[in-house]
Amino acid sequence: MDALELALLFDYYGGMLTDKQRDCFDMRYNQDLSLGEIGEIMGVSRQAVNDNLTRTEALLRRMEENIGCVKRDMLTRRAVQEILDAATVLDASSDPAVFATAQRIRAAAHLLEE
Amino acid sequence: MDALELALLFDYYGGMLTDKQRDCFDMRYNQDLSLGEIGEIMGVSRQAVNDNLTRTEALLRRMEENIGCVKRDMLTRRAVQEILDAATVLDASSDPAVFATAQRIRAAAHLLEE
């Protein structure tokens, strides 16, 4: 699985993993340790680490298929960008009420980026 | 748990339940059957139905605590409403470019409501 995709899935759904799954995932993808190194730290075989990671990835994918946070996040980003672009057009207006409204729209759009 | 809250949790996270959990939840909260009636249909005791529903509600709550779709959904609705209200202010402008931009902002905001 693509590293960025995995990182996004972990951001949204990591809270649903067990401590062991989270630790293992973190050592593999954030600390970039090998399966053997993780196995030594956890006191299990290289194969057990691999199985753990495979199960975690499958669970993260299943959550995305059923809940869809990452997909929704991408649609939101696109819509927010479109709203911000449109607000920029309004900044060129000489009408102070229009300028103030552009600010208001931008503020609300930024709330969606959090 | 409040019925509306439960319905929202089910909308977002229902896909992560087992078929049995989903059926049981549906009979109880959508079809409004009693625990006894559900037990008869499923061939289990009233108590087993109650346990099943209690576990389902706990799982739905745990997913919301860890993933937060319902909370995020409410923040999005509020921001979208603010953007739509601001776009209405722009409709009063005599400048056709401003009017067109208001339409553009509304279209993007509506994408966020889906």
Task: Let me know whether B45 and B96 are in one domain.
Answer: no
Q: For chain B, how many structural domains are there in total?
A: 2
- Per-residue tokens: B36: 């006894």
Residue B15 per-residue DSSP state: G
Task: Let me know whether B81 and B56 are in one domain.
Answer: no
How many whole angstroms separate alpha carbon B67 and alpha carbon B56? 16
Are A101 and B86 an interchain contact pair (Cβ–Cβ within 8 Å)? yes
Task: Let me know whether A77 and A63 are in one domain.
Answer: no
The CATH number covering residue B60 comes to 1.10.10.10
> Which of B82, B89, B98 to probe the A interface (max A CBs under 10 A)?
B98
Residue A1 has pLDDT above 80, yes or no: no
Are A76 and B75 an interchain contact pair (Cβ–Cβ within 8 Å)? no
A80 Cα distance to chain centroid: 17
Q: What is the pLDDT of residues A12-32, one digit of tens each?
A: 999 999 999 999 999 999 899
Measured in angstroms, the CA of A32 and the nearest CA of chain B are apart by: 25
B32 Cα distance to chain centroid: 19
- Looking at residue A93, what is its pLDDT? 86
Whether the model pTM is above 0.90: no
Task: Let me know whether B12 and B60 are in one domain.
Answer: yes
How large is the average pLDDT for residues A87-107? 92
Using CB atoms, which residue from A66, A95, A108 is nearest to B82? Answer: A108
- Looking at residue B85, what is its pLDDT? 95
Using CB atoms, which residue from A86, A109, A112 is nearest to B101? Answer: A86
Task: Let me know whether A31 and A63 are in one domain.
Answer: yes
Answer whether B62 touches A (CB < 8 Å): yes
**B83, A107 contact by CB (below 8 A):** no
How large is the average pLDDT for residues B16-36? 94
Residue A92 per-residue DSSP state: T
Residue A11 has pLDDT above 80, yes or no: yes
